[in-house]
Chain A
Amino acid sequence: MPIGKKIIFTTLLLSIVLLLSSIIAMSAGSSGTHFWETLSILTGNSDPDSVTATIIWQIRLPRVILAAFVGGTLALGGLVFQALLRNPLAEPYILGISGGSAIGAILAMLIGLSYFPGVAIFSFAGSLLVLAFVTTLASTTLGNTMLGKDSLLLGGVMMNAFCAAVIMFLISMTRSFQVQHILYWLMGDLATIQKGQLSILFLLFPCFIIIFVLSRPMNLLLLGKETAAAMGINVKKIVLLLLVITSLMVSIIVSLSGLVGFVGLVIPHIFRLVLGPDHRILVPSCLLGGASYLILCDLLARILPSSGELPVGIITALIGAPLFIILLLRHRT
């Protein structure tokens, strides 16, 4: 199949999956499952003022939208970092984004700022600070290049470890009832989203488009930086652009949802196994597939407990880690 056709085919198929998972996620929740009623509400054939309609439009829809963006962005972030760092274990938080944003968020919570915009801005600022530090560190230790992939990786891992210590320090100094908020945020939680905050997510669209445009250079980067440079790619510029764009969009997501793990690891690996290494296909696939995956995980987080709900980060890790191991085993044999 020619590449153009293959892109359109997989995108179309995964879009249908995304649509279906959205509808399923919107039809179930703690107040009960109403599939047909949901369909008639979504298609406008039902009283828009009913309680079920309010629940679907005002409570479930914003969450499904947020889950879609979080899942898509994290999967895409994982894909890009795995290509840039040429390391299969790279994930969207690898450069210290998680640690930095967690410190920012916890500080904001301790000051008593509201979730939005206070905590979101602080966590965004925290991740950018750490990111700037790590990239500067990597470029100065190696003198001239952003491509010191191991120094980037090591710098990120160390920054995350350092941040983890700061986080533990902050938690140990915290009054007991605040600890719960902080822990839920660290576990990754979509429950705090409000309708008005969703508009920020549209900032992510340009990031998605730029990454898709850069998917061919990413293919060449996989061959090594010398080969890529020989094929006419401005390696330094492309790498820097991808690093900044990806980190930016992951920071936006983290500031809204906390730390949702494993999506950025599992989804890119699944699609790479199924669809091959071509980023022109992988970029849209990870975006749509990651979105569907997190929508369904969030559905489980909402309906599994008999009372209340789980943070979605627990579900993604509980499903993601075993799934990843199974993938590894099947890949070997």
Chain B
Amino acid sequence: MFIHIPRTHIILTLVLSFMLQTGDILAGPVTDQVGRTLIVPENPTRVIALAPSITEVIYSLGQEKRLVGATQYSTHPPEAEALPRIGSYIRLDIEKIVALKPDLCLATKDGNPKHIVDKIVSLGIPVYVINPLNLQQIMDTITRLGTLLHAERAAVELVADMEERIEQVQALVKKARNKPRVFFQIDAEPLFSAGNNTFIHELIELAGGINIAAGEDSYPRYSWEDILVLQPEIVLISSMAGGLSPEYLIKSWKRWNQLSAVNNDQVYVVDAELFDRPTPRLLDGLELVAAIIHPELFEKNIKRTEN
């Protein structure tokens, strides 16, 4: 059977397929993680990270040479401390941002105020907004940033490594016989914990524990009365909680020897940065929590961190 295809169609198809093939390399309109379309430079060389987590991801992609500015508390890796500061992620200093002549700003939806992002855009600086809400989306973010910053291979390797580490933890946790009840304290005086839609919740569940703060409220508040009723078996305290010392934080739990977590010495202070930043370091947090929750499975594999 003979199907007539007009010549123009063939040419059009060829042109289209050519465009599609080169589309990944050319600078052009891209859609960011919150669905905004923007034009990004083909090879951004003056990038400003508007949140510590973004600085961290750029370093782990090996693209720090492109960074010209970062926010306060961009302390990881330590080299990042030398970058020019542009205010904190919530109070960005627009004047300093403009003075650094960036060709691309990377922002995060959960943190950077929208009106400031709008203002940067109105000054002619493209702003790519990321919005990772769980581990899967962090990996998606890394892939996207890898494409933006020409570090596709590093991104693929990083994501593969993250997937592997998650699978390892999952495989081990499967063998566990029990699911301990975990309370993760993110703030002290008053007590706050983390509910659904937080990284902390995801990490506890992945590590084979039950997050007793699970619920619609992302950051529920607790009283000691609630805690005594809930009877956590394991207590994890963020090192940032209340700006208090780890000794003090642990002492405030040791008052309650009616709690099995206290009786069995299962109260730990953990590094806040491993739990509140959407970066590959959340995997360190995952492995740490898994080792605390199921020491019998992890002793051989991961060095247990004591408080």
Contacts and interface: CB of A to CB of B under 8 A. Distances in A.
Interface stretch (A1-9, A190-198, A240-248): A190-198
Given A115-B115, A116-B115, A194-B119, A308 B87 contact: yes
Contacts, number: 67
Rank and list the top 4 A-B pairs by shortest CB-CB distance, nearest first: A31-B99, A308-B87, A115-B115, A29-B95
B163 interface: no
Contacts of B93: 30, 307-309
B244 interface: no
Given A177-B111, A194-B115, A194-B118, A307 B87 contact: yes
A177 B219 CA distance: 10
A114 B218 contact: no
Interface in A227-270: none
A330 interface: no
A184 B90 CA distance: 11
A59 B115 contact: no
Given A29-B95, A51-B99, A308 B115 contact: no
B153 interface: no
27 contacts: A29-B95, A30-B93, A30-B95, A31-B98, A51-B99, A55-B98, A58-B122, A59-B94, A59-B123, A114-B114, A114-B115, A115-B115, A116-B115, A176-B192, A177-B90, A191-B91, A195-B122, A302-B95, A307-B85, A307-B87, A307-B88, A308-B72, A308-B87, A308-B88, A308-B93, A309-B87, A309-B91
Contact of B72 (A31, A32, A55, A307): A307
A191 B116 CA distance: 9
Contact of B99 (A55, A176, A194, A195): A55
B96 interface: yes
A184 B122 contact: no
Interface in A154-213: 175-177, 180-181, 184, 191-192, 194-195
Name the residue in A29, A52, A60 with the highest tally of chain B Cβ atoms < 10 Å from its Cβ.
A29
B95 A31 contact: yes
Interface string B59-98: 0000000000000100000000000010110110111101
A46 interface: no
B187 interface: yes
A51 B115 contact: no
Report whether over half of chain B's contact residues are helix, strand or loop; otherwise say mixed: mixed
B101 interface: yes
B222 to A, nearest CB: 14
A29 B111 CA distance: 24
Interface string A39-74: 000000000000110110011100000000000000
B28 interface: no
A309 B98 CA distance: 16
Interface in B250-274: none
Given A51-B101, A59-B95, 19 more contacts: A30-B96, A31-B99, A51-B99, A55-B99, A58-B122, A59-B94, A59-B123, A176-B187, A176-B192, A181-B90, A191-B94, A191-B116, A192-B115, A194-B122, A195-B122, A307-B85, A307-B88, A308-B87, A308-B91
Nearest to B88: A308
Contact of B91 (A115, A175, A176, A184): A184
Contacts of B91: 184, 191, 308-309
B98 A59 contact: yes
B113 interface: yes
Nearest to A58: B123
A248 B229 CA distance: 53
A309 B94 CA distance: 10
A181 B187 contact: no
Given A30-B93, A116-B115, A181-B113, A175 B85 contact: no
A51 B103 CA distance: 13
A181 B91 CA distance: 9
Contacts of B87: 307-309
A175 B187 CA distance: 12
A310 B90 CA distance: 13
Contacts of A194: 115, 118-119, 122
A176 B219 contact: yes
